[in-house]
Structure 1
Amino acid sequence: MTDIRLKSSALLLALAMTILLAPTLAPNAKASGIVAVVNGAAITDLDITQRQKLERLLSGGKRRLSKSAALNAMIDDKLKLIEARDRNRTPSDSDIDNALGNMARNAKMSSKRLTGIFRQAGVNKETLKEWLRAQLAWRSLIRARFNAQIRVDEAEIMQALNEKGESRNSVESTIQFDLTSVLFVARAKNQNLRLREAKRFRDSFQSCDTDLEKARRLTDVAVTRVGRRESGALPPAISKTLRDTPVNRLTQPRKTDTGYEMLAVCGKKDLGKEATLRDEIETKLKDDRSKALSRKYLAELRARAVIEKR
């Protein structure tokens, strides 16, 4: 799963601020002028305005980029996309759609509603997709070039664990879930009916061993094994929902682009606090290393790029 996440709390805050504060684009706005050219790729005034609005929404209204900062962010993205193109690592349209879908799921809403929130804030869908394309392309480039350098060895993890000391007690245990998705496919004309049917099935669900097979025999119901997932690798809201759902039961139906999805919790295994700490430490060490290498790589691209500001 593409790890491009957006918290629902930030989205809802941003939506509220959008309604009160953010201007929308005039429908007959004049064509914007070119403010910079990066290796032949143009950046316009409209691109800058869009980037400012995008960053504001992604931060839940907390981050407001100046035009200069937005231009620099756009230059970086252009360089990332050009490098990805040259190294045949440009994400496909389906990669972008999947990333957008993951953002929506993490924010507990449909893709349509998510893009509607961005549109209401004055950010068009293509701006969002181009931003996602740059993020995915850059992650792919970093992994391809620096994968060996990003790895963390056991000695580093153990040293960091020993430094944690008494703070270990405040950490929540990692739970490994065994999950299966049950999707009640719904069309525009039968949304309410399918939701009622999904809820009835959830109420009657007692066993993964027998009731998943019953679900497979239902009309327009897709049963897909998700497999084992650890709580630390899941969005916090989903992790909490799964922790609160007993084994051999289904989560509440959640609206998706294709219907109503429930997750069958077919097993839980407590991996302990040590597993949580190890995951957190390994993730932080890798993230710190990746950020440092990313800055170095981007500096190299800027050094050899032809950037003309107008």
Structure 2
Amino acid sequence: MKHVQLKKTLSIFALAVFVLSASAQIQRAVASTIKAVVNGAVITDFDIAQRQRLERLLSGGRRTLGSTAALNVLIDDKLKLFEARNRNMTPSDGQIENAIQNMARNAKMDKKRLVSIFSQAGVNIETLKDWLKVQLSWRDLVEARFNTQVHVDEAEIYQMLNDQAKKDGTVQDAIQFDLTRVLFITRAKASSAAKNQRLVEAKRFQSRFASCEKDLEAARNLTDVAVERIGRKSTTDLPEPLAKRLRDTEVNKLTPPIQVGDGYEMVAVCGKKDLGKQATLRTEVQTKLRDEKSKVMERKYISELRATAIIDKR
């Protein structure tokens, strides 16, 4: 099962984990009161307070978790991470760092500024990393288990399309793009000056880019530049920030360079095709139906994990 909604928002606070390392847990337990033990892993009042602050920040202050609700969420997070470890599906430190970079980029700020905002809200960076770790693990676990089981009938899609027909006028036309990725690579441990110079080179190449056929071949001949064909993707398949950049980019042009983990990335728009509103609406309906069914399966999955766990609430 693909979490299309997660990808489309690939948005600021949309992906990751809550599980502490054993040493960190012990250190916190010494200074805090243990509120629960889940398969030998402790949850303290410090952890609960951190989760409450994180939830308020991620929801923009719209959602507040009570201490009991926060404890139950943390128990589920522990179980999810144990399951990921048992199935060898925990994300790497690099994946977590990339998730933080994506959050910062989608919020239109650098990582340092993002971390500062969390710190000012009383949320440790390790708490954020733990939360991201759980989210990424659980996404992969659910997809691995239920991907082939989530099925949406055409009749269901047709019925919901009819129900939403009145809203059709508010839906943007879907666009299919022919895309190629161009990455200006920065060397490991490059200085700030070297990175800035690389950004200047990427911007210069973007300004000169006028033909996918000719200029992509020229890019392949440049030093430390990677060119990768993405192929055809529609706006319904892409996170909204990227979809907007592509809409705003003319054919045979590059999107502005953005910093990624290993350099500065641009995307060449080598073709555009208008798919109309119906394609957008159908994808939205199908995604909504799949998400509803997925949530039922996720609840069943976590119930099974709880049934076999040893949970001691204090």
TM tier, shorter chain?
0.7 to 0.9
What displacement does 1:68 show? 1.9
Deviations 1:126-184 (A, max 9, x none): 32222222223323333343334422122221222233223223211111111222223
> In structure 2, which of residues 289, 292, 295 is the aligned counterpart of residue 291 of structure 1?
295
TM-score of the superposed pair, with normalisation by structure 2: 0.81
Where does residue 195 of structure 2 map in the other structure?
191
> In structure 1, which of residues 202, 205, 211 is the aligned counterpart of residue 209 of structure 2?
205
Task: Name the amino acid aligned to 1:239.
Answer: A
Deviations 1:201-240 (A, max 9, x none): 2221110111112222223333222222211222222211
SS of match in other structure, 2:147? helix
Where does residue 181 of structure 2 map in the other structure?
181
What displacement does 1:98 show? 4.3
Aligned residues: percent identity?
Answer: 61
Residue 215 in structure 1 maps to residue 204 in structure 2:
no
Task: Name the amino acid aligned to 2:165.
Answer: G
Task: Name the amino acid aligned to 1:96.
Answer: I
Structure 1 portions without partners, runs of 5+:
12-27
Residue 253 in structure 1 maps to residue 257 in structure 2:
yes
Task: Describe the shift of the 1:129–1:232 C-alpha distance in structure 2 as closer, same or farther (beyond 3 A).
Answer: same
What displacement does 1:76 show? 0.9
CA contact 2:10–2:239 (8 Å) conserved in 1: no
Where does residue 42 of structure 1 map in the other structure?
42
| CA distance in 1: counterparts of 2:228 and 2:111, whole angstroms | 21
| CA distance in 2: counterparts of 1:177 and 1:109, whole angstroms | 27
| CA distance in 2: counterparts of 1:87 and 1:204, whole angstroms | 48
What displacement does 1:30 show? 7.3
Deviations 1:110-133 (A, max 9, x none): 555544443443333332222222
CA contact 2:216–2:227 (8 Å) conserved in 1: yes
Which of 1 and 2 has higher RCO (CA within 8 Å, sep 6+)?
A: 2
Task: Name the amino acid aligned to 2:219.
Answer: A
SS of match in other structure, 1:228? strand
CA contact 1:38–1:305 (8 Å) conserved in 2: yes
| CA distance in 2: counterparts of 1:92 and 1:253, whole angstroms | 26
**Superposed counterparts of 1:274-289, under 5 Å:** 274-289=278-293
Where does residue 228 of structure 1 map in the other structure?
232
| CA distance in 1: counterparts of 2:181 and 2:221, whole angstroms | 15
Report how many aligned residue pairs link the two structures: 293
**Superposed counterparts of 1:33-182, under 5 Å:** 33-111=33-111, 113-182=113-182
Higher mean displacement: 70-79 or 58-67: 58-67
SS of match in other structure, 1:223? strand
Higher mean displacement: 294-303 or 238-247: 294-303
